[in-house]
């Protein structure tokens, strides 16, 4: 297959052969070797079922469930399944819970914010004007460990983001969040659990305070929302708290569905309906969209629906038990690795590894070197740069592990690889960004001045962080083998510069 086929076409068999060849370059999506991005149940027939269900729904358009009523049935089932799992069935707690199927975590978070913002605007017309006169907007209160989707939401929906600093261990005090609440807050967000740390935020205290003050409160359970209901010893983190006004849980994570499906639930129809966009003010068909997209694929919904029916709550419980056993075993193993430790107190299927700073540098295990090293041994864990918060407290750089049911199949091998990798990198300090930082300053880039795309690309090449780009119609661009130096740039360069470099890196990967 050549560039030519995009002009003249080619045989289906050739196209598919090419796709399968391209796929050999990808990280393995099954088998537990990639501990981020993918959620493998380990049940083969579930994948087959998902594929068949997705194929059955492939020609549909989610734009209109009245023309294709199967969509409405599937969405009803999924919403009620998730509502029950998330403690939302008891109408005595704050009334009826209703919701929508969205395309993923980011869309659920965006819609939770948009809905709360619109309700706030409606309830506070005068305060809105007062804030505007002071060049302020209503606030979106989040923690440092809240997902970046909320930063995106604040940008898109014109809110001021107010980030509550976490403690060094990644936890956040309820009082720190509550002290930020006021009548100019459109929404406060707590996570269950937070992706970077795996910790559950103080949902009960914060949602209770929000209820008292009349502030909307969203629980972001996109990551763990379909594992925590069956996880041992969890606090009440969900709709059992009457002050929780909305909650999100991704079917394409621990729901084991293919990418493209999540559920967003609201307390009360009034709130839910604010999520919708509806108009008759154009020359075409009346547009009524519960979510951000117009035409949308129903395949992920159909796959999620099939999986939820196949597994039932009992199936999710079994799969979650496996994740919980692996999490306990990994935490135990890490405790025995000198120089490495688990960040804070995770509850659920995410664990972050950090260097044990109670030991001298020569005995510490840097998590990013560890991640690079374990990649050589066939496992991918995810680099998370550290972050210096507004109060000066630095949250450490770490390596994230998403623990799925297949983790258990490879547990002895994974733990051995962790131990061996730790031995290999023990004492190697965090990659330095000092030279790049000095070079950036010399070039005049700073908090106030970001490089252009061309300059960003030159810098990436200069510091050896540019992806290798294929010549001609090859596979996608490959990132440098060692990610630790790139992550140090992300952590230490002025934020606008780091953003420009990372944007350029990703844009170039898909550019020809």
Ligand X SMILES: Cc1ncc(COP(=O)(O)O)c(C=O)c1O
Alpha-carbon torsion 433, 436, 441, 447, what sign? negative
Task: Select from 46, 153, 219, 222 the one that contacts ligand X (CB under 6 A).
Answer: 222
Q: What count of Cα atoms within 13 Å lies in the side-chain half-sphere of residue 3?
A: 5
Closest residue to bound ligand X by CB: 105
Among 35, 46, 53, 109, binds ligand X (CB under 6 A): 109
191 is a contact residue toward ligand X (CB under 6 A): yes
What are 368's two structure tokens? 């990013």
Give 87 or 339: the residue with its C-beta nearer to ligand X: 87
Instruction: Express the helix, strand and coil content of the chain in percent, nearest 5 each.
Output: 45, 15, 45
Output the smallest distance, CB 228 to ligand X, in A: 11
When asked if residue 265 is in the footprint of ligand X (CB under 6 A), the reply is no
Shortest Å distance, C-beta 360 to ligand X: 34
Q: How far is the CB of 264 from ligand X (least distance, A)?
A: 11
Q: Is 195 in the site for ligand X (CB under 6 A)?
A: yes
Q: Which is nearer to ligand X, 220 or 491 (CB)?
A: 220
Residue pair 38/295 in contact by the 8 Å Cβ criterion: no
Residue 223 contacts ligand X per CB under 6 A:
yes
**Two tokens at 461?**
């090449």
Q: Give the residue, chosen from 104, 243, 255, 339, that forms a contact with ligand X under the rule CB under 6 A.
A: 104
Alpha carbon distance 434, 335 (integer Å): 32
Q: How far apart are CA 190 and CA 141, in angstroms?
A: 9
Rounded Cα distance, 465 and 382, in Å:
17
Q: Does 149 bind ligand X (CB under 6 A)?
A: yes
Least Cβ distance, residue 432 to ligand X (angstroms): 29
C-alpha to C-alpha distances, 345 to 26, 168, 200, 292, 441, nearest whole angstrom: 33, 12, 9, 35, 38
Alpha-carbon distance of 442 to 104, in angstroms, equals 42
Say if CB 131 and CB 184 are below 8 A apart: yes
User: Could you say whether residue 250 binds ligand X (CB under 6 A)?
Assistant: yes
What is the rounded CA–CA span in Å between residue 233 and residue 255?
Answer: 20
Residues 338-377 that bind ligand X (CB under 6 A): none
User: Which span sits near ligand X by CB under 6 A: 171-179, 216-224, 360-368, 392-400?
Assistant: 216-224
Instruction: Judge contact between 229 and 83, C-beta under 8 A.
Output: no
Nearest CA-CA partner of 275 in 423, 109, 405:
109
What pairing do the DSSP bridges indicate for beta strands 185-191 and 139-143? parallel
194/465 with CB nearer ligand X: 194
Q: Is 383 in the site for ligand X (CB under 6 A)?
A: no
By CB under 6 A, tell whether 255 contacts ligand X: no
Residue 147 as a binder of ligand X (CB under 6 A): the answer is yes
Q: How far is the CB of 231 from ligand X (least distance, A)?
A: 15
The answer to whether residue 256 forms part of the interface with ligand X (CB under 6 A) is no
Residue 106 contacts ligand X per CB under 6 A: yes
Interface with ligand X, residue 337, by CB under 6 A: no
Q: Which ranges of 124-214 would DSSP assign to H, the alpha helix? A: 125-133, 149-156, 174-178, 203-213
CB nearer to ligand X: give 227 or 488. 227
As a whole number of angstroms, the distance between CA 142 and CA 390 comes to 13
Beta carbon of residue 99, minimum distance to ligand X (angstroms, whole number): 16
Neighbours of 218 (CB within 10 A): 29
Q: How far is the CB of 36 from ligand X (least distance, A)?
A: 9
- 196 binding ligand X? (CB under 6 A): no
Give the number of residues in contact with ligand X, rule: CB under 6 A.
12
**Interface contacts to ligand X, rule CB under 6 A:** 104-106, 109, 147, 149, 191, 195, 220, 222-223, 250
């Amino acid at each position: 297959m050549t560039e030519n086929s995009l002009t003249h076409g080619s045989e289906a068999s050739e196209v598919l052969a090419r796709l399968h060849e391209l796929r050999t370059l990808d990280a393995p999506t099954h088998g537990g070797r990639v501990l981020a991005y993918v959620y493998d149940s380990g049940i083969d027939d579930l994948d087959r079922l998902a594929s068949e269900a997705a194929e059955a729904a492939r020609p549909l358009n989610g734009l209109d469930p009245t023309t294709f009523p199967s969509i409405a049935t599937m969405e009803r089932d999924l919403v009620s399944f998730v509502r029950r799992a998330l403690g939302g069935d008891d109408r005595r707690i704050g009334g009826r819970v209703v919701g929508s199927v969205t395309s993923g975590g980011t869309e659920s978070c965006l819609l939770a914010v948009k809905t709360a913002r619109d309700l706030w605007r409606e309830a506070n017309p005068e305060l809105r004007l007062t804030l505007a006169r002071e060049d302020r907007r209503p606030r979106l209160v989040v923690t440092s460990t809240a997902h970046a989707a909320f930063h995106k939401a604040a940008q898109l929906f014109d809110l001021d983001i107010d980030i509550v600093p976490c403690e060094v261990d990644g936890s956040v005090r309820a009082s720190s969040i509550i002290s930020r609440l006021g009548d100019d807050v459109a929404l406060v967000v707590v996570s269950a659990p937070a992706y970077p740390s795996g910790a559950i935020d103080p949902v009960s205290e914060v949602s209770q305070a929000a209820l008292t003050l009349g502030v909307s409160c969203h629980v972001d359970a996109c990551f763990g929302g379909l594992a925590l209901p069956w996880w041992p010893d969890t606090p009440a983190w969900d709709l059992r708290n009457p002050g929780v006004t909305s909650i999100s849980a991704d079917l394409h994570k621990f729901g084991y569905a293919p990418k493209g499906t999540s559920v967003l639930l609201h307390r009360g129809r009034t709130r839910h309906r604010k999520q919708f966009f509806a108009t008759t003010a154009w020359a075409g068909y009346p547009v009524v969209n519960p979510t951000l997209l117009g035409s949308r694929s129903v395949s992920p919904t159909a796959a999620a629906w099939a999986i939820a029916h196949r597994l039932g709550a009992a199936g999710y419980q079994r799969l979650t038990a496996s994740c919980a056993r692996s999490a306990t075993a990994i935490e135990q193993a890490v405790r025995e690795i000198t120089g490495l430790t688990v960040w804070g107190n995770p509850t659920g299927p995410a664990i972050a590894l950090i260097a044990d700073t109670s030991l001298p540098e020569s005995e510490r295990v840097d998590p990013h070197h560890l991640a690079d090293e374990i990649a050589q041994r066939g496992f991918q864990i995810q680099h998370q740069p550290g972050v210096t918060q507004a109060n000066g407290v630095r949250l450490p750089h770490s390596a994230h592990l998403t623990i799925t049911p297949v983790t258990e199949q490879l547990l002895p091998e994974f733990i051995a690889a962790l131990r061996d990798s730790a031995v290999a990198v023990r004492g190697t300090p965090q990659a330095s960004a000092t030279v790049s930082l000095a070079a950036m300053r010399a070039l005049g880039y700073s908090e106030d001045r970001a490089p252009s795309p061309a300059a960003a690309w030159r810098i990436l090449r200069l510091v050896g962080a540019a992806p290798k780009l294929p010549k001609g119609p090859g596979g996608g661009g490959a990132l440098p083998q060692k990610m630790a130096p790139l992550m140090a740039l992300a952590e230490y360069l002025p934020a606008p510069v780091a953003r420009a470099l990372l944007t350029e890196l990703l844009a170039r990967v898909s550019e020809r």
